């Protein structure tokens, strides 16, 4: 995804590394990551950052994770609590399940509620196509990050529910209004 993906590529998450201490250095950086370069060049690093954040079971534990700076501070990543709406039947937007989950994201200015006004890149639902989820990170984070955020990621794994984005918004975006009513 070009528009949001390039924004996501502007920061990296610190402290959201893996949960096994043997797989992280003393600063909490996952072994799969090299802080001297962009995390968006390694899908394994993005996966480790995502998994480290998702291992945090509460909003407080999520917020307590330290940030990780990559590429001389060019990318700063941290964990943030997100609203996740998963649809049991995405074709009809039926059977939504709402949960909170800790997600990795890039530190950024702004953000906004995807249920208020016209969605922009800073306030749109993020789509995890495989999981059939709409994810809202209205904190000052751009994300969520994962292997789909890598420079060489297969197109179509993710997207945002906004107009004029490349690749185009996934079909699950048709469920955005339903997600807003249940969140």
What residues have CB less than 8 Å from 102, skipping those under 6 apart?
16, 53, 54, 55, 56, 57, 59, 61, 62, 65, 79, 80, 81, 82
**93-109: pLDDT as tens digits:** 988 999 999 999 998 87
Domain ranges of the chain: 3-182
**25-74: pLDDT as tens digits:** 556 799 999 999 999 999 999 999 999 999 999 999 999 999 999 999 99
What's the predicted TM-score (pTM) here?
0.81
């Amino acid at each position: 995804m070009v528009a949001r993906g390039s924004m996501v590529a502007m920061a990296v998450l610190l402290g959201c590394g893996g949960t096994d201490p043997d797989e992280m250095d003393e600063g909490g950086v996952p072994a799969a990551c090299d802080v001297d370069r962009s995390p968006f060049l390694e899908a394994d690093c993005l996966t480790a950052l995502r998994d480290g954040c998702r291992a945090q079971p509460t909003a407080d534990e999520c917020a307590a994770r330290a940030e990780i700076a990559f590429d001389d501070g060019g990318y700063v990543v941290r964990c943030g609590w997100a609203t996740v709406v998963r649809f049991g039947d995405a074709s009809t937007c039926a059977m939504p399940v709402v949960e909170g989950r800790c997600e990795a994201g890039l530190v950024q200015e702004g953000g906004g509620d995807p249920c208020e006004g016209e969605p922009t890149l800073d306030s749109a639902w993020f789509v995890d196509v495989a999981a059939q989820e709409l994810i809202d990170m209205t904190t000052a984070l751009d994300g969520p990050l994962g292997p789909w955020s890598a420079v060489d990621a297969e197109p179509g794994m993710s997207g945002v529910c906004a107009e004029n984005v490349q690749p185009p918004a996934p079909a699950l975006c048709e469920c955005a209004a339903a997600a807003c009513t249940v969140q």
